[in-house]
Amino acid sequence: MWAALVWSFVHKISPQTEPHSMDAFLYSTAAVALAEVGDKTQLLTLFLAARFRNKWAIIAGIFVATVINHLVSGWLGAWAGSAFNENLLAWIVGISFVVVGLWLLVPDKEDEEDGKWLAYGAFFATTVLFFLAEIGDKTQIATVLLAAKYQAVFWVVAGSTLGLMIANVPMVFLGDWLLKKLPLQVIRIAACVLFVVLGLITLYLPVLVLFGYVEL
């Protein structure tokens, strides 16, 4: 049983030469990078950068936490994508994209951080706190949905990880200054539009089927 689960996981995360691989990578990068701006994990990055001097340890912790979290999320999304009927999955994923897009318009607030992890140093504290903060976060849910849509875990996780690093690495060095300069509301609206468009594209075929214009 465990061998089968491990093989399934390895197969799901292996790079596939499918036509939509580059789409999965580019959409995941853009979607997560935009969704991350002003998110609670970005606020956490600011907090950690102010707390620790070793900036590269913070960046390494963010990377490790993101890869682990998004690998699990991507595998879960790909499993859900293969477990459900294609038409039903399109409805679920499409509507979820639209909901997440609207959710992105709501600014996040920084959570109260548990100070006990800070005593373990920049890398360990960042890895643990970032991993916990990503659970149930917008970017994690986006990774699940993108993996379910594209069925390309490697490319979705690679893109979502790159997008998250693009949004957070500058914050480690220039956090407060960037937050004052970036048009956060404009970026949230852009992220909302991107997710809503993805949702509408995903729903296009199911709607045609529903109204009898196309037969599966």
- Give the model confidence (pLDDT) of 147-196 as tens digits: 998 989 999 999 999 999 999 999 888 876 766 777 767 778 888 888 89
For residues 115 and 4, the model is more confident at 115
171 vs 184: CA distance, rounded Å: 14
Average pLDDT, the chain: 82
0.75 surpassed by pTM = yes
DSSP 83-96: HS-HHHHHHHHHHH
Contact present, 80 and 89 (Cβ < 8 Å): yes
Kindly provide the b/e burial profile for residues 88-109, where b requires at least 16 CB atoms within 10 angstroms of the residue's own CB: ebbbbbbebbbebbeebeeebe
Contact present, 159 and 28 (Cβ < 8 Å): yes
Instruction: Count the Cβ atoms, other than its own, within 10 Å of residue 196.
Output: 17
The packing angle between helices 40-51 and 55-83, to 10°, is 160
The packing angle between helices 21-36 and 138-150, to 10°, is 170
DSSP 142-160: HHHHHHHHH--HHHHHHHH
Above 70 in pLDDT, residue 1?
A: no
The closest alpha carbon to 41, from 182, 141, 137, belongs to 137
The closest alpha carbon to 133, from 153, 166, 108, belongs to 108
Give residue limits of the domains in the chain: 20-210
pLDDT at residue 111 in the model: 56
Q: What integer is the mean pLDDT of 70-76?
A: 93
Tokens standing for residue 193? 């539009």
- Give the model confidence (pLDDT) of 75-109 as tens digits: 999 988 888 777 888 888 889 999 988 888 877 66
Above 70 in pLDDT, residue 16?
A: no
